Structure 1
Amino acid sequence: MAHHRARRGGRNLPGNALLPDPFPMIRLSQLAGLFLCLWLAAPAFGQAAAPARVVSLDGITLELHGVSDAMEEPARLLLEKQIGLAGDKTVSPPLADDLAFFLQAKYLQTGYEEVNVEWRLEAGKAVLDVTEGRKRFVGKVTFEGVEASRNPELQPYLVRQTKEREGRKPKRLPFVEADIQAGAGLVVRRLQADGYLDAAAEAPVFTRDAKGDSVDILLVLKPGPQTLFGEVRLAGDLSKFKEDVGKKAANLSGKPFNEVNLETLRKELKGNLQSLGWYAAEVTSSITPGHHYSGGTVPVVLTVLPGELFHVTEVRLNKGLSNGAQRVARSVFLTATQQRYAPETLDLLHRRALDTGIFDRLDVEPAVLSSNTMALQITGQEAKPKTLGFFGGYETFRGPFLGAEARHVNFMDTGDSLGVRAEASTVGLDGSLQWTDPAIFGSRNALAVSLNAETFSFREYERRTVALRNTLTRRITRRVTAELFQNTSLSAAESTMLTLEELGPPDYSIISGGARLTLDFRDNPLNPRRGWLAGIAVETGVDKGDADFRFVRTDINASWYHPFNEKWRMAVAARSSSFNSSEPVTEVPIEQRLFNGGATTVRSFSEREMGPESRRGSTPLGGLSTTVLNAEFSYTIIPNLEVAGFVDAGSVNEEASLFSPGDLRYAIGMGIRYQLPIGPLRIDYGYNPDRKEGEKAGALHLTFGFAF
């Protein structure tokens, strides 16, 4: 049976070292010595022959020999991917040769610099024989020619390609010679960024441990003289800037010289002017691009030429967009016309247009019409109009849940959207129908009308509700959103265990309206690491049913997020709600009251369980005011997985205006978060340090999303 080596012949593999020559000339004595060495080394490796492994995909069968357990999964994934890309349906010599070639490249990327892969065809399948050899790891790294204190700074550049490919932080980095060669170039560029414009490096020197598996690396650097910025000043018309940009220029003086930093400042100044409406602004530099500077100082003059102030006069839409998409895009971007050109405003409008769900992609390009006017050229690609999705999971409070959601954007080519949602869980059924006009009457406001039907069963009572909600939303700035809302609901509650005072009025019809203001300065709404969020909502309403009460509800929240470094971060939050009613708490329906305790409040209690309970059972009765304080510290173990410690405090009071620090109840606990695209999957356990009679020691919570 013929054996074939993978194509090597000095071919460069992407991101890898050159493969060794296939047939080095070996004398008979050398060959005998080689076999003797291998025989003596075999016990040291202490590995039995790896079992044959089979990979099958699309009618192609591969048999792998010599693949260790550590390399089985990477090899399998690679070969399945390559078979899929090839599209072949039968085994052939070219396919087998390609697969052996890519498998050998994978081994080299993993640190097996002595690997050899041969292939043969046998009984309709390809057999790949792998001789792995020893896996090598990066050992001691030494830089000569620079201060020893710079070694920790430069080493990440030397091994960057390997670290990026590994994806996580391994205990030991595999040694890949080609990666180190490329990393030496990154080290040199780093020195050049520090003003050592003539920096160079000798070829890396590798010292392999004959008895172990490490490879020590020596990189001799030749920095040369350092070049610094001399005086950096601005000239021209600086009156258009809103800030003292001269300080930014002066800050470069005495810093290491490189054209990247200079170009960054030049573009920043130009972008600053364009954001203020000076679209044709130019900032020129006295430095000649590409001119070689070596040592000493380099003075720089940046000349500012603002040009004319530009205004947007019209919006031009791509004829390929549907009527509904054009209506929405025109309504959104018309607000930018007859105003000065402002990229920040256009960014806000762009986000608002994408939020409608009509567009997969939307491009906004300024088109100059005259010396001071421009049009906005809108092009893009529309999203799939109809979507259907299913979801399910488990939460501690709701138990297992399952649901479906259908949405039709650009309904009947109007630009409006229609959505239907249904969900079932152990606490009840919930269904809704929502219609949304993202640009009502061609304005900047979005109107949403939703009809909701819900059944809810909790402990000793049940409730059925039908509600109509109208919401008018306006995104004032990228960070500030205002909302007006109106609710009309019909509800019926019943219980065979709760008294009428505990349950409150069983039948009630509430008409209410209110407003909400949200300030969101977080870096990411799904996984915030930095920034803050604050909001206030006020709602007033009246019951037109049997209860006949009036109320004003107020909700205030604030949270702050701060990272200490890449691993550690903290978050703190405060929330307060009050329900000022014309009647005492016993005359307020139980579902209108305020509750505390649970996965997003005080986590030493199960959902709603803080506060007074029914006399004959254990149903939480709620109150008319609540307070919640949270502090959380989290640590990233590996990417997407965090462990957190937290402290919570909160209270429930039967009167809206009553609060005393002595009423606070506490939680101390820990949790785990796993990041998903929709937010974190969160498991928390909160311990109750001030238990009262009958209370549990703590509570376990499994849910989605952040606590605050």
Structure 2
Amino acid sequence: MFGRFVIRGNRVLAGVALWGVLATGVNAADPQPYVTSLASTGEGDLDTALKASSDLLALQSTQAVGPFALAGRVRDEYDRLRTALESCGYYDGTVHIVLSRPKADAKAAPAASQSPNAPGAFMGDDAAVLNSPTIDGKSQDLANWIANVPKGEKVEARVSVDKGPLYHLGHITLKDDKTGEPPKLTPEQTKALGLATGQPAIAQTVLNGGGQLLDALREGGHALARVEKPVAYLRPETRTLDIVYPVTPGPVLNVGAISLEGLQKVHPAFIRRRLTVEEGQLYQPSKIEAARQNLTDLGVFSSVGVKDGSPTAVDGTMPLDFSFREGKRHAVGAEAGYSTDLGARAGVNWTHFNLLGNAERLRLVALVTGLGGSAQQGLGYDVYADLFKPDFLQRNQNLSARIEGLRQLFWSYRQTALLVRGGVARPLARNWNGNFGLAAEQESIEQFGVTRDYTILSAPLSTTFDNTGVGNPIEPATHGMRLSLGVTPSFSLGTKGEGTSFFAVMNASASTYFDLNHLGISKPGRSILAFRGTIGSIQGASTWSIPPDQRMYAGGSATVRGYRWQGVGPQYGDTRYAIGGTSIDAGSVEYRQRILRSFGMAMFADAGQVGETSMPFNGTLRVGTGAGVRYYTPIGPVRLDVAVPINRAPQGDKWDLYIGLGEAF
């Protein structure tokens, strides 16, 4: 739809309105096929508006009609195209339509340069030249001309416009709809209109200005503000358009009583604690919408709505009505993944939402792992239960807990373990989050033919920064940075005389994304350079004093592609057995290119090393490179990467394949 100024001259325009489609004529005879050509004006936005407005063009292949109905469609075409011209600021334009028989021996006569209100002209038996929305008594002649076209022969409709001069905005006035005086607005509210004298008189810009002003008024607490459709005055002598906006600001209001409707299993007290708007604060739609979205993010509602609770102010406030529709409480799903190093993993999961009435979530997962894979020696399993409790002890502080049993049969070691861990996460500042937890692990590990049992207690502490603006972790980032810093003090109690050890695992990783649109060589979000860096160190104990699963390894999609999982770092002779180390450093660069709408490709290079001392940047540097394809789905890209090692380790893979959901980083 396009905005339209509907009356010209020095009179007041009836307003800025939206035009609609008028159906005229009846199909009283055999349908007359035709083909339409619409000449370009050389202005992309105007051409788009004209094409969207043209019924001759839109209906030529789907709704063939008889001569009388087609004649009516031609007449209506003038109004529709003139509306499009005026919507783009051209108020003195002329529309030309030529109907002709392409198969006739005589050539079609050219369109005459007539004024918009001149009568139509008919040129013999083979062409009709029309320049008027009214045919002045010749409608029957036009219909007869169409009716005389031989059956089965298409009529050609050639449409063109003369734009005429572009009109600009003249005086822009705000008038209180009650007093007739200029309303009392802040400079920020006046600026929100976004219009200035001399701008092109484009209808949609004028309409948008009123909406922007209304938004600014409501954001300033004017909950009952009204900005009516603007009144426009056309000034042909200066080719300008004067605009008057009727504005009723209304009083500044605070948030009043908040009602909750539709809650069944979710406790109202929990929702009230969760709400980020409170009674008595300034009425601001942006904060009210943020509160609604915050409740939606709990994951227990299929929809959350909010609306003003009264058509008038209530004791200087505006009540709010929140409405809820609770989602299904149970969900069953399946998950699968594959890489040539870790093989395939597949399993099922079951989720219970709103477990205790406060939006808790319990998730049970059972996976079979190690189905093939160059880093695996056999089948394993991973079975765990996750509990998530939002607003633990205070708002925006979440509790996560897991109990897990797993068996992993890597070439590096064979592990059977029971783990219990819990942590609290909360925002620290804008884009910053912190996490503190406790974990206990009882495990049995076989490495190089020797089996040892370990009891490990740890207290992981981490912080993350993310300003990519991507809420869904599977959705690819196109700008910004992600940073993660962590330290995990650990105490390990070994059996069979292995004694105890104290050590601290420290790690940091960062990734950043650069859109090549900033260099003017691509469209936004289509061509991305992504960079990743990782560094880590274990302090307090030597390699052999640390349980094998706590050591540092590299290789695979998380560090260096082209090398199998745990395939980078100290190895046990020329075998496939990785020893692990006490330091790591790795980096990646990746070029991502969207192709068409749903496909993409990537090229990447990774490098990394694992050292036997706690100081990073020592060891044997391994480099891998490769490429991949992407298929973009509504929830994120499906990724398929193939990578090869540049300096392959003894017994290392010649290539590796990775399949996953979301980008590697």
Q: Is TM-score (shorter-chain normalized) higher than 0.5?
A: yes
The letter of the residue matching 1:265 is: G
Paired position in structure 2 for 1:391: 335
Paired position in structure 2 for 1:576: 534
Paired position in structure 1 for 2:455: 508
User: 1:316 and 2:267 equivalent?
Assistant: no
Q: Give 2:433's match in structure 1, choosing from 471, 476, 482.
A: 482
Give, in whole Å, the separation in 1 of the partners of 2:203 and 2:31: 48
Q: Work out the percentage of aligned pairs sharing the same amino acid.
A: 20
Paired position in structure 1 for 2:552: 594
User: 1:448 and 2:448 equivalent?
Assistant: no
Paired position in structure 1 for 2:275: 333
Q: Give 1:195's match in structure 2, choosing from 82, 89, 92.
A: 89
Could you tell me whether the CA contact under 8 Å between 1:559 and 1:572 is conserved in 2? Answer: yes
Give, in whole Å, the separation in 2 of the partners of 1:397 and 1:216: 64
With over 3 angstroms needed to count, the CA separation of the structure-2 counterparts of 1:338 and 1:567, relative to structure 1, is closer
The letter of the residue matching 1:521 is: T
Could you tell me whether the CA contact under 8 Å between 1:486 and 1:514 is conserved in 2? Answer: yes
Q: Give 1:267's match in structure 2, choosing from 199, 208, 211.
A: 211
Paired position in structure 2 for 1:667: 624
The letter of the residue matching 1:387 is: A
The letter of the residue matching 1:519 is: D
Q: Give 1:495's match in structure 2, choosing from 423, 446, 449.
A: 446
Paired position in structure 2 for 1:94: none
Q: Give 1:463's match in structure 2, choosing from 415, 420, 435.
A: 415
**What is the CA distance between 1:306 and its match in structure 2?**
6.0
Helix, strand or coil at the partner of 2:501: coil
Helix, strand or coil at the partner of 1:618: coil
Q: Give 2:564's match in structure 1, choosing from 584, 594, 606.
A: 606
Q: Compute the RMSD of aligned alpha carbons.
A: 4.4
User: 1:700 and 2:657 equivalent?
Assistant: yes
Helix, strand or coil at the partner of 2:642: strand
**What is the CA distance between 1:539 and its match in structure 2?**
3.1
Which segments of 5 or more consecutive residues in structure 2 lack a partner in the other structure?
1-20, 65-72, 105-153, 175-181, 371-378, 495-499
Could you tell me whether the CA contact under 8 Å between 1:391 and 1:403 is conserved in 2? Answer: yes
**What is the CA distance between 1:429 and its match in structure 2?**
1.2
Could you tell me whether the CA contact under 8 Å between 1:232 and 1:301 is conserved in 2? Answer: yes
Paired position in structure 2 for 1:143: 39
Paired position in structure 1 for 2:479: 531
Q: Give 2:61's match in structure 1, choosing from 150, 155, 176.
A: 176
Paired position in structure 1 for 2:641: 684
User: 1:345 and 2:287 equivalent?
Assistant: yes
Structure-1-length-normalised TM-score: 0.66
Paired position in structure 2 for 1:519: 466
Helix, strand or coil at the partner of 1:455: strand
**What is the CA distance between 1:205 and its match in structure 2?**
6.1
The letter of the residue matching 1:511 is: S
Give, in whole Å, the separation in 1 of the partners of 2:482 and 2:466: 5
Instruction: Give deviations 1:200-238, integer Å, cap 9, x for gaps.
Output: 64458698799xxx9998431132432112355887555
Paired position in structure 2 for 1:629: 587
The letter of the residue matching 2:391 is: A
Helix, strand or coil at the partner of 1:424: strand
Structure-2-length-normalised TM-score: 0.70
The letter of the residue matching 2:548 is: I
With over 3 angstroms needed to count, the CA separation of the structure-2 counterparts of 1:245 and 1:644, relative to structure 1, is farther
With over 3 angstroms needed to count, the CA separation of the structure-2 counterparts of 1:237 and 1:490, relative to structure 1, is same
Could you tell me whether the CA contact under 8 Å between 1:430 and 1:453 is conserved in 2? Answer: yes
Instruction: Give deviations 1:168-190, integer Å, cap 9, x for gaps.
Output: xxxxx998366999999997666
Give, in whole Å, the separation in 1 of the partners of 2:173 and 2:590: 46
Give, in whole Å, the separation in 2 of the partners of 1:143 and 1:377: 53
User: 1:407 and 2:351 equivalent?
Assistant: yes
Could you tell me whether the CA contact under 8 Å between 2:569 and 2:620 is conserved in 1? Answer: no
Instruction: Give deviations 1:412-471, integer Å, cap 9, x for gaps.
Output: 545433221211122621122223332334634332322222222211411122222323
Could you tell me whether the CA contact under 8 Å between 2:193 and 2:212 is conserved in 1? Answer: no
With over 3 angstroms needed to count, the CA separation of the structure-2 counterparts of 1:161 and 1:253, relative to structure 1, is closer
**What is the CA distance between 1:359 and its match in structure 2?**
0.6
Could you tell me whether the CA contact under 8 Å between 1:229 and 1:255 is conserved in 2? Answer: yes
Helix, strand or coil at the partner of 2:39: strand
Helix, strand or coil at the partner of 1:264: helix
**What is the CA distance between 1:283 and its match in structure 2?**
5.7
**What is the CA distance between 1:634 and its match in structure 2?**
3.1
The letter of the residue matching 2:218 is: Q
Q: More helix per residue: 1 or 2?
A: 1
Q: Give 2:503's match in structure 1, choosing from 524, 545, 550.
A: 550
Give, in whole Å, the separation in 1 of the partners of 2:661 and 2:280: 45
Give, in whole Å, the separation in 1 of the partners of 2:615 and 2:81: 64
Give, in whole Å, the separation in 1 of the partners of 2:550 and 2:101: 74
5 Å-filtered alignment, 1:17-166, equals 143=39, 146=41, 149-150=42-43
Give, in whole Å, the separation in 2 of the partners of 1:217 and 1:588: 83
Paired position in structure 1 for 2:3: none
Give, in whole Å, the separation in 2 of the partners of 1:284 and 1:174: 35
Could you tell me whether the CA contact under 8 Å between 2:555 and 2:563 is conserved in 1? Answer: yes
Helix, strand or coil at the partner of 2:291: helix
Structure showing greater relative contact order (alpha-carbon pairs closer than 8 Å, 6 or more residues apart): 2
**What is the CA distance between 1:157 and its match in structure 2?**
5.8
**What is the CA distance between 1:573 and its match in structure 2?**
2.6
Could you tell me whether the CA contact under 8 Å between 1:601 and 1:707 is conserved in 2? Answer: no
Paired position in structure 1 for 2:389: 437
5 Å-filtered alignment, 1:362-381, equals 362-367=304-309, 370=314, 372-381=316-325
With over 3 angstroms needed to count, the CA separation of the structure-2 counterparts of 1:370 and 1:581, relative to structure 1, is same
Helix, strand or coil at the partner of 2:493: coil
Instruction: Give deviations 1:623-667, integer Å, cap 9, x for gaps.
Output: 33434433333333343221222333444344444337x975443
* Aligned residue pair count: 555
Could you tell me whether the CA contact under 8 Å between 1:315 and 1:330 is conserved in 2? Answer: no
Paired position in structure 2 for 1:42: none
The letter of the residue matching 1:329 is: I
With over 3 angstroms needed to count, the CA separation of the structure-2 counterparts of 1:672 and 1:360, relative to structure 1, is same
The letter of the residue matching 2:382 is: D
**What is the CA distance between 1:357 and its match in structure 2?**
2.1
With over 3 angstroms needed to count, the CA separation of the structure-2 counterparts of 1:691 and 1:456, relative to structure 1, is closer
**What is the CA distance between 1:591 and its match in structure 2?**
1.9
Give, in whole Å, the separation in 1 of the partners of 2:100 and 2:551: 72
Could you tell me whether the CA contact under 8 Å between 1:325 and 1:410 is conserved in 2? Answer: no
With over 3 angstroms needed to count, the CA separation of the structure-2 counterparts of 1:701 and 1:492, relative to structure 1, is same
Instruction: Give deviations 1:375-401, integer Å, cap 9, x for gaps.
Output: 331112111112222333534344232
Could you tell me whether the CA contact under 8 Å between 2:169 and 2:196 is conserved in 1? Answer: yes
User: 1:417 and 2:357 equivalent?
Assistant: no
**What is the CA distance between 1:595 and its match in structure 2?**
2.9
User: 1:559 and 2:502 equivalent?
Assistant: no
Helix, strand or coil at the partner of 1:471: strand
Paired position in structure 2 for 1:354: 296
The letter of the residue matching 1:423 is: L
**What is the CA distance between 1:555 and its match in structure 2?**
2.6
The letter of the residue matching 1:363 is: G
With over 3 angstroms needed to count, the CA separation of the structure-2 counterparts of 1:159 and 1:223, relative to structure 1, is closer
Instruction: Give deviations 1:460-483, integer Å, cap 9, x for gaps.
Output: 411122222323334578x73624
Which segments of 5 or more consecutive residues in structure 1 lack a partner in the other structure?
1-13, 26-112, 115-135, 163-172
**What is the CA distance between 1:512 and its match in structure 2?**
1.0
The letter of the residue matching 1:428 is: G
Instruction: Give deviations 1:59-78, integer Å, cap 9, x for gaps.
Output: xxxxxxxxxxxxxxxxxxxx
Paired position in structure 2 for 1:64: none
Could you tell me whether the CA contact under 8 Å between 1:209 and 1:215 is conserved in 2? Answer: no
